[in-house]
Amino acid sequence: MAENVYQSRFGAPREPNTRVNPGRGLVSVVNFVTVSDTRAVLFLLVCGFLMFLPGFFNIPPIDRDEARFAQATKQMVETGDFIDIRFQDEVRYKKPVGIYWLQAAAVETASSLGVPRAQVRIWLYRVPSLFGAIGAVLLTYWTALAFVTRRGAVLASLLLCSSVLLGVEARLAKTDAVLLLTVVAAMGALARVYLSWQRGEDPDRPPWAWPAIFWTAIAGGVLLKGPLILMFVVLTVGTLAIMDRSANWLWRLRPLWGLLWLLVLVLPWFVAIFWRAGDAFFADSVGGDMLSKLANAQESHGAPPLTYFVLFWVTFWPGAPLAGMAAPAIWRGRREPGVQFLLAWLIPSWIVFELVITKLPHYVLPLYPAIAILIAGALERRILSRSWVIRGAAWWFAVPAITSVIAVVAAINFTHQPVFLAWPFVAVSLIFGLFAWWLYDDYRAERSLLNAVASSLFLGMAVYGVIVPALTPLFPSVEVARALRNVVCVGPKAAAAGYHEPSLVFMTGTSTLLTDGSRAADFLLQGSCRFALVESRSERAFAQRAEAIGLRYNVATRIDGYNYSQGKQVSIAVFRSEGTQ
């Protein structure tokens, strides 16, 4: 264990303050679970499920990325084609196949177990993200053990587990939570190899386990999101090589065997997709998706440098205040091998993301475990900056307070009621956040952190478990699909005009035609069990075409909602044909 990595620079720990505070019981739990690795892992598993399950099953499909991933997977299951990636008739070659295979496995398993309508249950497509997030928490514990004690590793894992950003990604059927798992596995193995070299351990008989984990994780990351995982590794290794003026330790990774194993794992699908689509996949994923983000604001997601730094104080809450308090001591210890490795993992990649034009909050998620471990090391030595005591600790109370205000406004605006069931959870979250702030000082930072983690838990229960699912006007696709399920004809078909969100295709069926008002009228004329889903802005064109072709129709129902992807109100009429005049 590299427990002493921090000691020479950070100094001896101070005596803890023994005054009573509400975190004492939580500290007792940590004392109990850190007796053994088995207890620690079981504790983190429970924490992961408690943090990530609220809302997991009952939040509807989220536009647009989640619904696109889920629909592409759904089509794989429907067609039995697990090589090509498509959204309806269009190819979807932005990312490799890894996440689609994992989602398809979850759906197929559920179907074999008799889960009704498994292919349209969005939570099944989220299962890989859930287990990816929990796996990343456990691997953060394993990685942290190379730098800090078992207690510090548990605290680092709790920091990641309770973070806002991971909580969001664990509930979305997309790549990022699973990618985080592969990155942490690769960096944990890389850290062990590097630190063994720093300690001068025998290079002639390195263990096979670390290289095996490293290269397998790299292969998984490549199948999930292409070469992005290589950026984290290459920048880390390059920075360490410059700092140490040597990279001889890389031979301990058995690179020749590792590269061969990497090719064995990733080449079959890349060869298969090249055989199927030629160079279209590589042109779209590397040229059209990855490289275009470097110079252009893709899909209106452009932002200036330092955007991630600003977002960090929310997305890494409740750990963010401690990051500010620990930063001075971490920088003083930057030449220590453990700190140097973690900073090499963090800083170069963070700079790259700040410079890239296209910015989305989840891009920096693979760097959060390094921050969590750095904070845990500073917590163990009790050397946090006291200048941050008032300004930093207040953020533990401010976030749940601000969130509760936003939730009240959103609930009243969209549902015209305050969603009373959420407020007990919000109140408990505010209490724990207040204790974390009010009782914080340098001696009891760990107890305040545990209070803040509890605050995050109850805030997640309120927001994800109660408030978001109650905001039904935000999810008109669900209401449209429910209306179509209630019709009394066999095999209804639909055409949508004006409202083309991916969630609508996922909920109403792959065959749903996305068109305009005029063509929706033509579609409706072609059969009796057909429906036109016409948004109000397209109704005039629909009515004019219906009159021209003599189409008689009625309004089965009308669904009013809010399209958050476009930031505007929508009103969708479900028209059904009555024949021709």
pLDDT in tens, 413-447: 888 777 888 989 999 999 999 999 887 765 678 88
SS3 content of the chain, % helix, strand, coil (to 5): 70, 10, 25
The token duo for 89 is 């008739």
Tell me, yes or no, whether 253 and 152 share the same domain. Answer: yes
The token duo for 414 is 């969209």
Asked if residue 296 belongs to a domain, the reply is: no
Task: Tell me the residue range of the domain where 263 lies.
Answer: 3-290+301-384
Tell me, yes or no, whether 153 and 260 share the same domain. Answer: yes
Tell me, yes or no, whether 425 and 544 share the same domain. Answer: no
CB under 8 Å to 361, separation ≥6 — which residues? 165, 308, 311, 315
- Which of 424, 451, 473 represents a domain boundary (last residue)? 473
In this predicted structure, what is the pLDDT of residue 20?
A: 45
Instruction: Read off the amino acid at residue 41.
Output: V
Q: How many domains does the chain have?
A: 3
- Which of 442, 473, 504 represents a domain boundary (last residue)? 473
Asked if residue 508 belongs to a domain, the reply is: yes
Asked if residue 295 belongs to a domain, the reply is: no
Measure the CA–CA gap between 533 and 553, rounded to whole angstroms: 12
DSSP 289: I
C-alpha closest to that of 335 among 198, 527, 529, 184: 198
Tell me, yes or no, whether 44 and 58 share the same domain. Answer: yes
In this predicted structure, what is the pLDDT of residue 31?
A: 86
Tell me, yes or no, whether 405 and 479 share the same domain. Answer: no
* Residue 286 clears pLDDT 80, i.e. is over it: no
Grade residue 4 by pLDDT with cuts at 50, 70 and 90.
very low
Tell me, yes or no, whether 126 and 263 share the same domain. Answer: yes
Residue 64, preceding peptide bond in cis (omega within 30° of 0): yes
3-class secondary structure, 558: strand
Could you tell me what percent of the chain has a pLDDT over 90? 74
pLDDT tens digit sequence for 97-152 = 999 999 999 999 999 999 999 999 999 999 999 999 999 999 999 999 999 999 99
Measure the CA–CA gap between 135 and 158, rounded to whole angstroms: 13
Could you tell me what percent of the chain has a pLDDT over 70? 91
Cα-Cα-Cα-Cα dihedral sign, residues 337, 341, 342, 347: positive
Instruction: Read off the amino acid at residue 118.
Output: A
- Do residues 41 and 141 touch, judged by C-beta distance below 8 A? yes
In this predicted structure, what is the pLDDT of residue 291?
A: 60
Please give the mean pLDDT across all residues of the chain: 90
Most confident segment among 173-182, 192-201, 549-558: 173-182
Grade residue 2 by pLDDT with cuts at 50, 70 and 90.
very low
Instruction: Read off the amino acid at residue 339.
Output: V
Tell me, yes or no, whether 436 and 506 share the same domain. Answer: no
- Helix (H) or strand (E) segment spanning residue 515: strand 513-515
In this predicted structure, what is the pLDDT of residue 407?
A: 84
Measure the CA–CA gap between 477 and 558, rounded to whole angstroms: 12
Better-scored residue on pLDDT, 47 or 446: 47
* Residue 412 clears pLDDT 70, i.e. is over it: yes
pLDDT tens digit sequence for 52-104 = 999 999 999 999 999 999 999 999 999 999 999 999 999 999 899 999 999 99
Tell me, yes or no, whether 35 and 62 share the same domain. Answer: yes
* Residue 17 clears pLDDT 80, i.e. is over it: no
pLDDT tens digit sequence for 310-358 = 999 999 999 999 998 899 899 999 999 999 999 999 999 999 999 999 8
* Residue 361 clears pLDDT 90, i.e. is over it: yes
Measure the CA–CA gap between 262 and 412, rounded to whole angstroms: 53
- Do residues 556 and 575 touch, judged by C-beta distance below 8 A? yes
The token duo for 384 is 């946090």
* Residue 581 clears pLDDT 80, i.e. is over it: no
- Do residues 70 and 125 touch, judged by C-beta distance below 8 A? yes
Q: What is the pTM of this model?
A: 0.93
C-alpha closest to that of 90 among 112, 108, 71, 77: 71
Tell me, yes or no, whether 25 and 76 share the same domain. Answer: yes
* Residue 11 clears pLDDT 50, i.e. is over it: no
Tell me, yes or no, whether 167 and 49 share the same domain. Answer: yes
Measure the CA–CA gap between 526 and 540, rounded to whole angstroms: 20
Angle subtended at Cα 476 by Cα 409 and Cα 71, rounded to the nearest 5 degrees: 120
- Which of 384, 419, 454 represents a domain boundary (last residue)? 384
pLDDT tens digit sequence for 557-580 = 999 999 999 999 999 999 998 765
pLDDT tens digit sequence for 362-405 = 999 999 999 999 999 999 887 777 665 556 788 899 999 999 88
Asked if residue 378 belongs to a domain, the reply is: yes
The token duo for 5 is 């990595």
Grade residue 5 by pLDDT with cuts at 50, 70 and 90.
very low
In this predicted structure, what is the pLDDT of residue 205?
A: 65
Measure the CA–CA gap between 237 and 256, rounded to whole angstroms: 17
Better-scored residue on pLDDT, 164 or 391: 164
Domain at 518, CATH number? 3.40.190
Tell me, yes or no, whether 192 and 213 share the same domain. Answer: yes
* Residue 23 clears pLDDT 80, i.e. is over it: no
Tell me, yes or no, whether 457 and 519 share the same domain. Answer: no
- Helix (H) or strand (E) segment spanning residue 534: strand 530-535
Mean pLDDT of 2-20: 42
